[in-house]
Amino acid sequence: MTRLIKHSTDKPFIHITPSGDKVKICMCGISKTYPFCDSTHSKTKDEGSQLCCYDKDGNRLSPEEWMYQEDKETIDV
Protein backbone atom coordinates (compact mmCIF):
# COMPACT_ATOMS: atom_id res chain seq x y z
CA MET A 1 0.00 0.00 0.00
CA THR A 2 1.29 3.45 -0.88
CA ARG A 3 1.41 6.02 1.92
CA LEU A 4 1.59 9.78 1.72
CA ILE A 5 3.94 11.29 4.28
CA LYS A 6 3.84 15.05 4.66
CA HIS A 7 6.98 16.86 5.76
CA SER A 8 6.34 20.51 6.47
CA THR A 9 9.71 22.08 7.19
CA ASP A 10 12.61 23.11 4.98
CA LYS A 11 15.47 22.84 7.43
CA PRO A 12 16.96 20.13 9.64
CA PHE A 13 16.42 19.53 13.32
CA ILE A 14 19.71 19.95 15.20
CA HIS A 15 20.20 17.31 17.89
CA ILE A 16 22.96 17.78 20.48
CA THR A 17 24.31 14.46 21.76
CA PRO A 18 25.34 13.99 25.41
CA SER A 19 28.97 14.38 24.28
CA GLY A 20 28.17 17.75 22.67
CA ASP A 21 28.23 16.64 19.02
CA LYS A 22 25.68 18.20 16.66
CA VAL A 23 23.65 15.83 14.50
CA LYS A 24 21.41 17.21 11.75
CA ILE A 25 18.17 15.23 11.40
CA CYS A 26 16.31 15.50 8.08
CA MET A 27 12.91 17.14 8.38
CA CYS A 28 12.19 17.69 4.67
CA GLY A 29 12.03 13.97 3.86
CA ILE A 30 14.09 13.99 0.65
CA SER A 31 17.61 13.48 2.02
CA LYS A 32 19.55 10.65 0.35
CA THR A 33 21.05 9.93 3.79
CA TYR A 34 17.69 9.94 5.64
CA PRO A 35 17.21 10.16 8.61
CA PHE A 36 20.29 12.39 8.51
CA CYS A 37 20.38 15.72 6.65
CA ASP A 38 22.43 16.04 3.44
CA SER A 39 21.24 19.62 2.68
CA THR A 40 18.80 18.46 -0.02
CA HIS A 41 16.21 20.64 1.74
CA SER A 42 17.56 23.54 -0.31
CA LYS A 43 15.32 22.20 -3.13
CA THR A 44 12.24 22.97 -1.02
CA LYS A 45 12.87 26.70 -0.45
CA ASP A 46 10.56 27.87 -3.28
CA GLU A 47 7.57 25.68 -2.43
CA GLY A 48 5.62 28.34 -0.60
CA SER A 49 2.31 26.97 0.68
CA GLN A 50 1.71 24.56 -2.21
CA LEU A 51 1.76 20.79 -1.71
CA CYS A 52 4.75 19.26 -3.53
CA CYS A 53 5.71 15.68 -4.22
CA TYR A 54 9.24 14.36 -4.79
CA ASP A 55 10.39 11.09 -6.34
CA LYS A 56 12.91 8.77 -4.69
CA ASP A 57 15.77 10.69 -6.33
CA GLY A 58 14.64 14.02 -4.85
CA ASN A 59 13.16 15.45 -8.05
CA ARG A 60 9.99 17.49 -7.66
CA LEU A 61 7.03 16.05 -9.58
CA SER A 62 4.32 18.08 -11.25
CA PRO A 63 0.74 17.48 -10.10
CA GLU A 64 0.12 15.72 -13.43
CA GLU A 65 2.82 13.16 -12.53
CA TRP A 66 1.28 12.27 -9.17
CA MET A 67 -0.38 8.88 -9.30
CA TYR A 68 -2.23 7.36 -6.40
CA GLN A 69 -3.22 3.76 -6.89
CA GLU A 70 -4.20 1.53 -3.98
CA ASP A 71 -2.29 -1.59 -5.02
CA LYS A 72 0.61 -0.14 -7.01
CA GLU A 73 3.53 1.76 -5.53
CA THR A 74 4.26 4.57 -7.93
CA ILE A 75 6.22 7.00 -5.78
CA ASP A 76 8.71 5.98 -3.11
CA VAL A 77 9.17 8.86 -0.71
Give the model confidence (pLDDT) of 18-72 as tens digits.
999 999 999 988 888 989 999 988 888 888 777 888 888 888 887 777 765 444 4
The reply to whether 45 falls in a domain is yes
The reply to whether 74 falls in a domain is no
The reply to whether 72 falls in a domain is no
Name which residue leads in pLDDT, 55 or 16. 16
Dump the DSSP string for 1-69.
Answer: ---------SSPEEEE-TTS-EEEEP-SS--TTTTB--SGGGGGTT-TTS--EE-TTSPEEPGGG---B
What pTM was computed for the model?
0.65
Range of the domain at 42: 13-65
Instruction: Give me the number of domains the chain comprises.
Output: 1
Q: What is the pLDDT of residue 26?
A: 92
The reply to whether 71 falls in a domain is no
